[in-house]
Structure 1
């Protein structure tokens, strides 16, 4: 008879070191590496997608730097300028409508983002506290607002009755609160360890003290992401200004961009605040305005990109 090791089945061999049956060990088959044609195809596909994203932006910047002769010769879209010039940027920043519109956009974005963050964080913290007064009805209202959005006419009538027409607050208050952002913030707040909140309450801290000294410092990542969401929304918004603002002097930059680029309106020296009659070519000025509207978001985004996974995904998974 064949002797068997205790804990093993007859007919199996054990490892010399730990007595693990060889027949019970799992053997994983290594994945086959992709061949040269597959890798080449992936590289080609990636290059095509990168070119589709990068080349239009390069063309916009190049056209804004090109001179009149090159713009005319290229049909209005220059890919590589031979003699780059900043005349288009000097012209739009000469103190005319573009400069004024950019100041309006920056002000609306900063004030609107601050107001939205304050309102959203306070509401989300209140909804994250189990047993607080009116928590469930308010949560239901927030969730229902995701399903039923107000129409164009009711929104206009509300803004009109509140006396916000032709006011900068018409660009901020109607979109000051996003239900999606509130839900993400609430999920993140609910993931904060309750022991911290209980310890603060034992020390005599109230809700506002806990919110300001414990919750907010722990929520920098999600606040940065939600703040970027709000800032991009305010910066890119033009329809609210088109709907609620009658005074062209109060137009934000996006509405000026729509007027001169999409509607292809003629840009005059008076509009740009320039005393020079010979302006740069119209395509160069239009592309320069487009670059000015894109660059601020491109500058801010890399500093907040590292917070996206921690801020949004954590709140979404825990919610």
Structure 2
């Protein structure tokens, strides 16, 4: 029997479609605006007023200046190192901690978990953290952005809950076959928790990619700066002079505007390209890690 929708159901469907379309447009337009502005002709762009529906002229000179800037390229490589090394360490530490705390026969496991959760509500503050990093000799090193943030409490809780959902019978069967904890973790628990692992990689990767405050606090050597800190200098401090050495004085202001948008696109595109590959794991991974059956 075919169900015939009532007037109220049709009205709800139409309202839902309009609302979702509006939200999508509001979310997408800032990205489209930055993209169009970055490829616009600088002189035509600064004269444009109102909504930008298409590029004002066309020019890739801003991207050329961005990629010719040695600070951008060096900071890009630094950020890639921070993302890869930091995410790898995060995943190893979080997986080890989550596996140990998810086992049902761990001594004082509940007490340890309570102490870990308390760190979400109580923090020593910036100055004690800086003194610890300085005392360990990590300031002005790559490790200053990796070691202090080796694991986050929330991600540990999510992964621990996901590991707890793995059937105990599988662990018992593996132990009967002679498997130790390393084998159970690597060959049983992690393969069955791949959606959560993928989401954790995304969370940690985006976190490292966008992180700039720690670099501002711990780093003084510009050769170690991540991309986001250079981006902050360009957008907040309006420092674009190093990229406009070949631009005449009268054209500097228009070119500086498009350079800012081009830099934003260069800093954002890698993360935008990463999302589609992990999207299929995203919802499933978060739900598995957040709900215990």
Do both share a fold (TM > 0.5)? Answer: yes
Deviation at 1:49, TM superposition (A): 2.5
Deviation at 1:187, TM superposition (A): 0.7
Note the alpha carbon deviations across 1:264-312, whole angstroms, 9 max, x for none.
23x12xx34x763457701111101101111111111111111122211
Rounded to whole Å, the distance in 1 between the matches of 2:262 and 2:127 is 35
Question: In the alignment, which of 51, 63, 66 is matched to residue 37 of structure 2?
Answer: 63
Paired residues in the alignment total: 287
Larger proportion of helix: 2
Rounded to whole Å, the distance in 2 between the matches of 1:137 and 1:162 is 28
Q: Does 1:169 align with 2:152?
A: no
Rounded to whole Å, the distance in 2 between the matches of 1:35 and 1:213 is 49
Residue matched to 1:276: 246
Q: Does 1:207 align with 2:177?
A: no
Residue matched to 1:111: 85
Q: Secondary structure at the match of 2:138?
A: coil
Note the alpha carbon deviations across 1:103-142, whole angstroms, 9 max, x for none.
1111101100000000000000000111224423321221
Q: Secondary structure at the match of 1:34?
A: helix
Rounded to whole Å, the distance in 1 between the matches of 2:256 and 2:54 is 18
Question: In the alignment, which of 91, 104, 128 is matched to residue 130 of structure 1?
Answer: 104
**Are residues 139 and 198 of structure 1, via their aligned partners in 2, closer, same or farther at CA, if it must alter by over 3 Å?**
same
Rounded to whole Å, the distance in 2 between the matches of 1:30 and 1:155 is 63
Note the alpha carbon deviations across 1:57-103, whole angstroms, 9 max, x for none.
11101111011221221269854214322221121112511111111
Q: Is the 8 A contact 1:188 1:314 kept in 2?
A: yes
Higher relative contact order (CA 8 A, sep 6+): 2
Question: In the alignment, which of 141, 152, 166 is matched to residue 192 of structure 1?
Answer: 166
RMSD of aligned Cα (Å)? 2.4
Question: In the alignment, which of 292, 300, 314 is matched to residue 266 of structure 2?
Answer: 292
Deviation at 1:39, TM superposition (A): 5.8
Note the alpha carbon deviations across 1:209-262, whole angstroms, 9 max, x for none.
111111121121110001110111110011001111111221111111111112
Q: Is the 8 A contact 2:231 2:264 kept in 1?
A: yes
Q: Secondary structure at the match of 1:174?
A: coil
Deviation at 1:44, TM superposition (A): 4.5
Rounded to whole Å, the distance in 1 between the matches of 2:100 and 2:222 is 40
Q: Is the 8 A contact 1:63 1:77 kept in 2?
A: no
Residue matched to 1:217: 191
Q: Secondary structure at the match of 1:146?
A: coil
Q: Secondary structure at the match of 1:111?
A: helix
Q: Is the 8 A contact 1:70 1:78 kept in 2?
A: no
Rounded to whole Å, the distance in 1 between the matches of 2:281 and 2:13 is 32
- Output the TM-score relative to the length of structure 2: 0.89
Deviation at 1:207, TM superposition (A): 0.7
Q: Is the 8 A contact 1:115 1:176 kept in 2?
A: yes
Rounded to whole Å, the distance in 1 between the matches of 2:5 and 2:49 is 52
> Which one has a bigger Cα radius of gyration?
1
After superposition, residues 247-262 of structure 1 pair within 5 angstroms as: 247-262=221-236
**Are residues 248 and 79 of structure 1, via their aligned partners in 2, closer, same or farther at CA, if it must alter by over 3 Å?**
farther
